[in-house]
Amino acid sequence: MIPLRDTKHSERFPIVNWLIIIVNIIVFIYELTLNGAEAEAFFYKFGLVPSQTNLTSGNQYTFFTNMFLHGGWGHFIGNMWVLYIFGDNVEDRMGKVRYFFFYIIAGLIASFTHYMLHRNSPVPAIGASGAISGIMAAYMFLFPRSKILSFVPVFFIPLLIPIPAFIFIAIWFIGQVFNGTYTLLFSPTATGIAFWAHIGGFLGGLILYKFFLSRKRKRKKKKY
């Protein structure tokens, strides 16, 4: 399932969501200027490498910086598109400042989850998807009846299907848990997708999102 758009429109311009996207764009453009060796060194310096990180390593900043790096066009576009779809409405309900801190905290929880479960991995973990997973968790419960117009290939036939947000995100999360469990059992160094960063970010967002809701927006009745 590939999300194309949602049916819930934010009532205010999502300035923080756009600023986060712009920062990711700037960093990605910088990455494109690097040659192969320079890019690898950049990822090892600012990506989260569990096997090289501890309390005395001096690179704890990578728990934060890794969420602004991406490993290619597909990785970058996919993450920014999902953030664009889901982030505006969550920011609308939280307000600018609360949304910013919610995004960062979800990303840090995602980084820490990956770190704890793959302590021996020498592979840099990079990407905004852990933080975005927290945004998706908030969206799932704030706008459960919003429809996500999704591209769904069925027997090689491309279909556009509106799927309720709760169901769409629930299916996505179940897939992360399944793949994350498989990776943990059979690929402990986590050389592929950091599924447990997604899971950690999602669960962190699920637990914390209510604490970040704007009081004014919380009191206002919403129709989705």
The per-residue pLDDT for range 15-36, each reduced to its tens digit, is 999 999 999 999 999 999 999 9
Average pLDDT over residues 40-60: 92
- Relative to beta strand 2-6, strand 147-154 is antiparallel
Structural domain of 174: 2-219
Residue 224 within a domain: no
Answer yes or no: is 148 within a domain. Answer: yes
Q: Which two tokens stand for residue 17?
A: 């969501």
Is the per-residue pLDDT at 223 higher than 50?
A: no
Give the residue among 39, 41, 48 at the shortest CA–CA distance from 196. Answer: 48
The CATH number of whichever domain residue 194 belongs to comes to 1.20.1540.10
Confidence label for 224 from pLDDT (cuts 50, 70 and 90): very low
Domain assignment present for 23:
yes
Give the mean pLDDT of the chain: 91
Q: Is residue 43 part of a domain?
A: yes
In a domain, 99, yes or no: yes
Task: Give how many domains the chain has, as a whole number.
Answer: 1
Q: Give residue 219's pLDDT band: very low, low, confident or very high (50, 70, 90).
A: low
Residue 62 falls inside a structural domain: yes
At 53, the amino acid letter reads: T
